[in-house]
Amino acid sequence: MERSSSASVREIRASPSGPVSRGASRLRIARGTLRLLLAGWFSIYIAASATAQDWGSEDDGWSQPTTQSDSPQPGVGWANKAGIGFTRDPNTLLLYFEVPYSFDQWVSLGPAIQIGIDDKNTFVAPTANLTVSVPIFKRARPFISTGIGFAYIAEDNRPGDDGEAGFLINSAIGIEFQLSQRLAVGSQMIFNIFPNKTLGESFVYSWQIGGVRISF
pLDDT at 36: 57
Q: Look up the CATH number of domain 23-54+75-215.
A: 2.40.160.20
Q: How many Å apart are CA 187 and CA 198, to the nearest integer?
A: 27
Separation of alpha carbons 126 and 106, rounded Å: 23
Sign of the Cα pseudo-torsion (150, 26, 93, 213, in order): negative
Residue 38: per-residue pLDDT: 58
DSSP reduced 3-state for 27: helix
Instruction: Please identify every stretch of the chain with a pLDDT value under 70, giving residue numbers as ranges.
Output: 1-75, 158-161
The whole model's pTM is what? 0.68
Alpha-carbon dihedral of residues 177, 84, 52, 73, nearest 10 degrees? Answer: -20
Which has the closest alpha carbon to 172: 151, 194, 142?
A: 142
Distance CA 190, CA 187 (A): 10
